[in-house]
Amino acid sequence: MSDPVIALLERVWRSIDELCSELAPEEWDTATDLPGWTVRDNVAHMIGTERMLAGDPAPETEGPVGAHVRNPIGEFNEAWVAHYRNAPGAAVLDEFRRITTERLAALRAMAAADFDRIGFTPEGEGPYRQFMEIRAFDCWEHEQDIRRAVGRPGHLDGPVPEMALAKIAKAAGYVVGKKAAAPDGSSVVFEVRGPVEITVPVVVEGRARVAEEVPAAPTVRLQMDTETYNALGCGRWTGERARAEGRVRIEGDVDLGTRVLDSMAFTI
């Protein structure tokens, strides 16, 4: 089987392997933008999810979880993170290589009908292919968490980040209309200027929606790079941080633009 989603997973897992192969032992303990998680914890989380999909039971948890765990999904993730927390980085990387190799082999052995089969996904019921695309998205997000933490930027263009930014863009109507409460008749245009370049126009006409065309005179225009758009959309950075670091430019209604930037996080 050669479903395109398999290529996305293979690409992001290979990039993570190459990145983590360069880490010094002490870098595995570097804190990331995710509260309570180090570089090691990010990799452990990815291992745990793939092991779950391979049919492995979650490890037993001992003692209370940290304050950063706020829901049942977080509790599930933390069980695997805790399981690997005291393991050397090299051993965690070996385990990552083992389980991702196993998962790729299992995916290639599946029939096309298996990828079409409707079932659970983190976004609600959908085909298994959709679930695997979410896995590629999640792993790329954690790769970027690691890269920012250890100061090794990269993998910000190509098929995986293009897919990830398109997924963030789908939430733009919800962000602008529901979270930022943009008034009826207003419009917001996100301009992402690279390495992945996308333009996401949102118009509010009763309800907010992503439009097919960019308004001639939008109420506000928000300009940023790929990394900033992703970090804001996935809740890694606050709007305040992005503004303080000069990572965004607001043209037009500054108050609305500020509200939108402060509301961009949509992932769990």
Structural domains of the chain ordered from first start? 4-155 (1.20.120.450), 164-261 (3.30.1050.10)
From 129, 49, 136, select the one nearest 95 (Cα to Cα): 49
The tokens of 4 are what?
């395109």
Q: Which phi and psi angles does 122 have, rounded to 5°?
A: -60, -10
Tell me the per-residue pLDDT of 79-127, one tens digit each, with 9 for 90 and over: 899 999 999 999 999 999 999 999 999 999 999 999 999 999 999 999 9
Question: How much is the pLDDT for 185?
Answer: 97
Question: How much is the pLDDT for 64?
Answer: 57
pTM: 0.93
Tell me the per-residue pLDDT of 162-219, one tens digit each, with 9 for 90 and over: 999 999 999 999 999 999 999 999 999 999 999 999 999 999 999 999 999 999 999 9
Return the C-alpha torsion angle 79, 96, 86, 59, nearest 10.
30
Q: Which phi and psi angles does 127 have, rounded to 5°?
A: -65, 155
Q: How far is CA 159 from CA 81, 133, 237, in A?
A: 28, 11, 23
Report the mean per-residue pLDDT for the chain.
94
Q: Which residue has the tokens 């609600």?
A: 124
Beta bridge partners of 122: 124
The tokens of 160 are what?
């995986």
Query: Residue 71 pLDDT more than 50?
Result: no
Q: Which helix (H) or strand (E) holds 198?
A: strand 197-205
